Structure 1
């Protein structure tokens, strides 16, 4: 006679989705990776899945040089 024995442990899978927006870069705490491009990223560890829906907006800046006597009203902020 031949007997086979199976000792089985089932681990339920879990998942989490994070939605984030950032200027220029975003460092995801789940895996420590820094992203510079919008997209959907996934990290799987064992039976746990983390999903990141990321929107990266490039920062913009502008310099204005002005000269004035007595006072100046900046059009950007009044």
Structure 2
């Protein structure tokens, strides 16, 4: 009976660890906003006060119908 309890507790702990790791990996970027030009997106990203762990930014082009917009993300 003791081996069963130990094995069960080990599996629960392992599942919790794996679940925490996958959640942390999902948040490697944070969406900040959408900008009409690459220049405005880069200017906002360079001047943004970020959380100490979020030190980089990225501007991704996104076509929205006939216009192109840029999404600003903070990254680790």
TM-score norm. by structure 1 comes to 0.26
Larger radius of gyration: 1
Give the number of the structure whose residues are more often strand, by fraction.
1
TM-score norm. by structure 2 comes to 0.27
Q: Which has the higher contact order (CA 8 A, sep 6+)?
A: 2
